[in-house]
Amino acid sequence: MPRFFAVLLTGLIFATNSGAQEAASEDSGSSSITPTESAPTGSAPAESVPPPSPTSGTAATPSETSPLGAGVISGGTPAAQQAPPTFSLPGGAGFLPRTLTAGEGRFAQPPYRLTLSVSQGYDDNIFNSPAHPSKQETQKVAVLTPESKQVATGRFVFVSGFLVPELRLVTKNVATFVEVPAPPPPPPKQGSLVTNGRLAFQTQSASPRTVYTFDASAGGLYYWSRPGDSTDYNGNLALTFLHRISARTTVTAQADAVYASQPNFSRINTPTNQTSDGYVSATAKIDLNHSWSPRLGSVTSYIFNGTFLQSDAAGGDVFDNQIANQVRYTLSPRSTLIIDLRESANTHPNDPAQDSTNTFLLVGVDYMASTRLRATALVGEQVRAQTQNGTALATPYLETTTAYQFTRGSSFAWTNRFGFEDAGNAAQSRLTYRTNLSLNYVIGARTTASAGVAYNRNSTTLIASNEQKAAIENNIQANIGLQYVLNRSLSFNANYSLTQTLTEQAGTSYRRNQIFLGGTYSF
């Protein structure tokens, strides 16, 4: 695979030599980034940014003794006519492409903000107990066992003067079943009043070359009627960073990590049931975005995804490190062709037999229907090979994102993904389809509504077995919320969420409903 990257990069350099020389001649002039500069051509902006007005010119530095007064640039052009700096972040790997604009959205808020949220609610299934529990019996778990035998090649050779058939040794993995003790019976379905408290901090900053946002929160849920430990702690960290190295080169970093005990179906490789001690799920992405010519650009990325379980749960910890290289060619102001090559290493510190590598070869298009609507689609093939035994499987791969920005700040996002994911067992493979929809709608000056749905379909099969019947699991998570802003410091909210898992295995399907009413105070 490194050789493939080298060949690809060499061809890219020769194919774009003339464009690079043209870019160098353009850069020989002024290389400063002005406030009216949009994302470099060939990059991955979240939305099309309107070009500056031909009459606006280049932003000048305001004079401290401007004779025209405050708010007017000394060159004579009103500051209000200057377009604010915009910053475009590429999507993928669980992140949506976004465009951040200085002075708008959260960048119009104070640089630091602290909020305290308290809500009271009810949870009707605090243990994710199955709707129809079944008798717990001894289970059979599939284990891969190597089996070797001699197979005739169809040719003959002389051995000690005799002509005999030629044989060769063939080794393959055979799935065998091992009985394990029955798990303890699930607790009966039980509901409880819940108090939810959370403290959150956010900060952000934007300049003509650099922008960043940082969010952190910590909280807990106190169950009034839950036996044993009555408190579940949770937390979240989120970071966005972008820096324009030059007019053609941008580096971006995005990270998101959560600590929770309840399932979150919008995140990959996380438990689909409640854990006893909690888990940490983290995703990070670093991109180097470069425009080789007015039409040709590339995005080189490093992506990390990891799940750390505090308790010994099925599958154990999993960490995925991925290198990706994306070549983008602009066909028109609205359409960009994409070739995407990725290579990842999936490791399990507690069970090396599950370690694997994944190779993706994808093609697609990035289409901007308008400054408000953008869609990206990538299709191709994913090849998953287990590190220890070399077993390789291939499947079609799909990844799409759609984002729409309504008027007055409302937004809609829709993502889809189909491909191999971690199965939690070296003898199994899992194909997963994921779709996530989210809507944030501004009803009025004080009222905002939100809604979201996450659906996963997991199909798990044995890798080395004549039995091809797949075990199907469907996960659904939906929520709806309403927020009313009383003033700059105080707001009230109401939220409802549904979590449901449907499987073919008796005694594993469950449903959970939660409802909360509360308020948030900002410092």
Secondary structure class of 103 (helix, strand, coil): coil
Q: Residue 101: count other Cβ atoms within 10 Å of its Cβ.
A: 17
What pLDDT is recorded for position 359? 96
Secondary structure class of 157 (helix, strand, coil): strand
Smallest CA-to-CA distance from 450 within 497, 490, 499, 403 is with 497
What pLDDT is recorded for position 269? 84
Per the model's pLDDT, the better-predicted residue between 444 and 97 turns out to be 444
What pLDDT is recorded for position 324? 95
- By DSSP bridging, strand 139-159 and strand 112-123 are unpaired
Residue 472 CA, chain-centre distance (Å), reads 23
Q: What is the mean pLDDT of residues 394-409?
A: 91
- Which H or E run contains 244? strand 231-244
- Which H or E run contains 516? strand 510-522
> How many angstroms separate the CA atoms of 514 and 512, rounded?
7
Is residue 183 scored above 70 in pLDDT?
no
Secondary structure class of 392 (helix, strand, coil): strand
> How many angstroms separate the CA atoms of 239 and 257, rounded?
9
Q: How does residue 184 score in pLDDT terms, banded at 50, 70 and 90?
A: low
Residue 274 CA, chain-centre distance (Å), reads 21
The residue with tokens 């996960």 is 475
- Which H or E run contains 8? helix 2-15
What pLDDT is recorded for position 15? 41
> How many angstroms separate the CA atoms of 39 and 289, rounded?
10
CA distance readout (Å), 298 to 250, 290, 338:
11, 5, 9
Is residue 47 scored above 90 in pLDDT?
no
Is residue 167 scored above 90 in pLDDT?
no
The residue with tokens 């070359």 is 209
Q: What is the mean pLDDT of residues 340-348?
A: 95
- Per-residue pLDDT tens for 224-283? 999 888 999 999 999 999 999 999 999 999 999 999 998 899 888 888 777 778 899 999
Is residue 7 scored above 50 in pLDDT?
no
- Per-residue pLDDT tens for 104-150? 878 888 899 999 999 999 999 998 888 776 665 566 666 666 667 77
Q: How does residue 520 score in pLDDT terms, banded at 50, 70 and 90?
A: very high
DSSP labels for 335-373?
Answer: EEEEEEEEEEEEE-TT-GGG-EEEEEEEEEEEEESSSSE
What pLDDT is recorded for position 365? 95
Smallest CA-to-CA distance from 91 within 436, 400, 404, 422 is with 400
- Mean pLDDT across the chain, nearest whole number? 80
What pLDDT is recorded for position 287? 95
Q: What is the mean pLDDT of residues 486-514?
A: 92
Q: How does residue 162 score in pLDDT terms, banded at 50, 70 and 90?
A: confident
Q: Provide the token pair at 436.
A: 């996530």
Is residue 300 scored above 50 in pLDDT?
yes
